């Protein structure tokens, strides 16, 4: 992997991972409660 490629990877990847993690947690937290 080129150095520049590694730099882009290190910048974008954590942002993408954080966005997906936040989305997953919100989806879990905000979903409707199970029917009783």
Partner 1 sequence: MSVGLRAVQWNRDKIVYDAILLAAVVIFIGVFVALHSYWHPPADYRDAIDIWIRAFGTCAYLMLTVILCIGPLARLDRRFLPLLYNRRHFGVLTFIVAIIHASLMLEWFRAGGELPSLAAELTTWEDYGKFIGFPFKTLGIAALLVLFLMAATSHDFWLMFLTPRVWKGLHMALYVAYGLVVLHVALGIMQGEYTILIPLMLIGGAGTVAVLHIVAGLRERAGDQGQALTGEGWLAVGPPDSIPDLGARIVAAPGGERIAVFRDGDRIGALTNLCAHQNGPIGEGRIIDGCVTCPWHGYQYRLADGCAPPPFTEKLVTYRVRIHRGTVEVDPCPLAPGTPAAITIPASAS
- Torsions phi, psi of 15, nearest 5? -65, -45
Measured distance CA(34)–CA(2) in Å, rounded: 49
Let me know if 27 is exposed, middle or buried by CB neighbors in 10 A (0-12, 13-18, 19+). exposed
Residues 15 and 23 sit within 8 Å (Cβ to Cβ): no
Q: According to the binding rule CB under 8 A, does residue 36 interact with partner 1?
A: no
In angstroms, what is the minimal distance from the CB of 13 to partner 1? Answer: 7
Site for partner 1 in 16-35 (CB under 8 A): 16-17, 19-21, 23-24, 26-28, 30-32, 34
Q: According to the binding rule CB under 8 A, does residue 11 interact with partner 1?
A: no
Which residues make up the interface to partner 1 (CB under 8 A)? 1-3, 5-6, 8-10, 12-13, 16-17, 19-21, 23-24, 26-28, 30-32, 34
């Amino acid at each position: 992997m080129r150095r520049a490629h590694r730099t882009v990877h290190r910048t974008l990847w954590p942002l993408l991972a954080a966005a997906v993690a936040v989305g997953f947690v919100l989806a879990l937290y905000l979903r409707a409660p199970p029917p009783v």
